[in-house]
Structure 1
Amino acid sequence: MLEGHQLLGFGFFVIGLWHLFNHTKLHALGSKSYTSTLWFPTTISRYMELHFIMASCTIFIAMELFIAPIHHQPFDPDGTIPTTHLHNFEHSSMAMSFLVYAIFAIVLDMKCTMAQHELTHFLGAIAFTQQFLLIHLHSRDHVGPEGQYHLLLQLLITVSLATTLMGIGFPKSFLVCFVRSVSIVFQGVWLMIMGFLLWTPGFQPKGCFMHLEETEEYVVKCSDDEALHRAVSLVNILFSFLVIGVTVFAMSFYLVMLRRYGGKVEYVSLVKEEHYREEDGFVKPKGTIDLENNMDDDESQKKSMQE
């Protein structure tokens, strides 16, 4: 579903970029006092980020279960779930996991529990685990270019999951949070690109096309093995280009933020420092050797001996 991929991808992109900005800013302002977190308050509202996640998940669930289906409800007349709507429930379950995370993140913050940091990360890890499992065990047979897109997406989810769990044991590690933020941004970009290139007519690779199955679902198929191999290779090439692009963006973003918010270190030459010490009345301790004077004395002695 094009709208679903776009909406979900845009949500990941915004949250990832917001995290990248805040983590880098906090790190630049004072790395010693830096502590990782999964969400950030704003001047407008303390829970604006979490409310954004809740609203996005609610809209996504509504689109999957009530807006996208032809009859605007996902059930058959007998109350069972039809085969054509299994993937709608799977997608909705992913959004529900992040919705639960956002709700309990607010509750834990209001209650000021001692284990707030650990439990919030645990909830985030559950959401990423749910996302990974539902994509890996999807009811639709992801084959061809569609399968390759989802396979590489699982790689990004694994990075997000691993760094979220690592945030529990390494709360002061900027690198863990930085990598997690970049992986979330990458997820958003990849989901939006997947939606455009897979489900937009005319954007499929040469030799591939959208085909309406008997289950009334559109799948991307290729005319022959050569076209299939080419399509999968193009997905891999696109992913590798995006890895380079996202890496360049992340490093450039870090350097710009460090220059903008980082503390300035002043360097003073040794000659000036010695001059300032003399003006302040600094006296060399007894027995201190003046290397410059000794070198001058040695040179003068050598010249006198030669004469």
Structure 2
Amino acid sequence: MGGTSRSSIGHILPGTGFFAVGLWHLFNHIRLFSLRPDSYVAPVWFPVPRARWRYLEPALVIAGSALEFAMEMFVDHSTFLPFDADGSIPADRLHNHEHAIICLSLVVYAGAAVHLDRRRSSRGRPAPGARALCLLLASVVFAQELLVFHFHSTNHAGVEGQFHWCLQAVVAACLATSLLGIGFPRSFAVSVARSACVMFHGVWLAVIGAMVWVPALVPKGCYLVRVDGRDTVRCRGEASLRRAKALVNLQFGWYLSFLTVFVLAMYLYVCSRYPAHQAYARLPTVAGGEEEGHVEEARKCGAPRDGGGDVHGDFASLEIEV
């Protein structure tokens, strides 16, 4: 991705975006499930409560992806043209085109999510299969990313290769949980796992950007060297390489453990902040003149709040067929 600073920023900024989206989803999935556990259906994305900011999440995804697409294709190169004069792709620009494909997939996903939601608003009901289609498009993004990193034109060897193998594992988990979400729309576990995987995806991208292209953070016994127009990590001897790879594995385990604790803490906090809504129903009069009674139906499936039909509070607009 160009020089050291560009390579680092090119991983940290997208990583921050993935983390923010995953955190937003995690909070709202837990909140939604805590309020209505029996009527929970996982939305694909969450609108902002204010109508004018409704599409903030997909809009930020589109804007961030478009910016990264422009950076990959036109910026920080000797020429702003992504192709040679004969229309071919230069060898040193192949990895930029591969990264740009991922950005394009994100734009398609977010744009389709907005379009399907606007169609729902105009028709007054969700389009058939809209939720499944959005999750399928999200799965395409992760499948595209997994394909690109597995068959990358850049030879990710040594320490950098170890980081990217771990990244592929995270992307595969994002893909798997997205596909599971299509078949299990009421599964809270699948939704939490998908949100956590997207968060970890962002964390690990940022870790790669810092640990591989910031000279001060390169493992002991290794150094940055420029190969084929880009900076990469090389180690002095087999012992230094083995140590550096082991440190990558340790970091992966540390961050995974920290994220697990964070998700648990978030769950406990949100559940205490948004307890399940209690609904009441009147029992019919029993034959024989027995006194009419009341029973509390805790977490009643489909129970409206404040007598309205909004089952999922602010996110009723995303209630679509299962």
Q: Which runs of 5+ in 2 are unaligned?
A: 1-6, 121-126, 279-290, 292-322
Distance in structure 1 (CA, Å) of the matches to 2:133 and 2:19: 24
Q: Which runs of 5+ in 1 are unaligned?
A: 266-279, 281-307
Cα deviation, 1:118-154, whole Å, max 9, x if unaligned, reads: 1011111111100111011100111111111111111
Which residue in the other structure is 2:297 paired with? none
Among 10, 16, 21, the residue aligned to 1:15: 21
Which residue in the other structure is 1:161 paired with? 175
Q: Is the 8 A contact 1:105 1:120 kept in 2?
A: yes
Which residue in the other structure is 2:230 paired with? 217
What's the Cα RMSD here?
1.6
- Counterparts of 1:1-307 in structure 2, within 5 Å, are 1-44=7-50, 45-112=53-120, 113-213=127-227, 215-263=228-276
Distance in structure 2 (CA, Å) of the matches to 1:59 and 1:37: 26
Distance in structure 2 (CA, Å) of the matches to 1:262 and 1:235: 40
Pick the structure with greater CA Rg: 1
How far is 1:264 from its partner?
A: 8.3
Distance in structure 2 (CA, Å) of the matches to 1:264 and 1:54: 35
Distance in structure 2 (CA, Å) of the matches to 1:33 and 1:70: 56
How far is 1:198 from its partner?
A: 0.4
Residue identity in the other structure for 1:56 = G
Q: Is the 8 A contact 1:7 1:60 kept in 2?
A: no
How far is 1:221 from its partner?
A: 0.8
Which residue in the other structure is 1:272 paired with? none
Distance in structure 2 (CA, Å) of the matches to 1:264 and 1:145: 51
Distance in structure 1 (CA, Å) of the matches to 2:26 and 2:222: 37
Distance in structure 2 (CA, Å) of the matches to 1:263 and 1:125: 31
Q: Is the 8 A contact 2:72 2:100 kept in 1?
A: yes
How far is 1:243 from its partner?
A: 1.0
How many residues align? The count is 266
TM-score (normalised: structure 1): 0.84
What secondary structure sits across from 1:86 in the alignment?
helix
Q: Is the 8 A contact 2:106 2:141 kept in 1?
A: yes
TM-score (normalised: structure 2): 0.80
Higher relative contact order (CA 8 A, sep 6+): 2
Structure holding more helix per residue: 1
**Identity fraction in percent:** 40
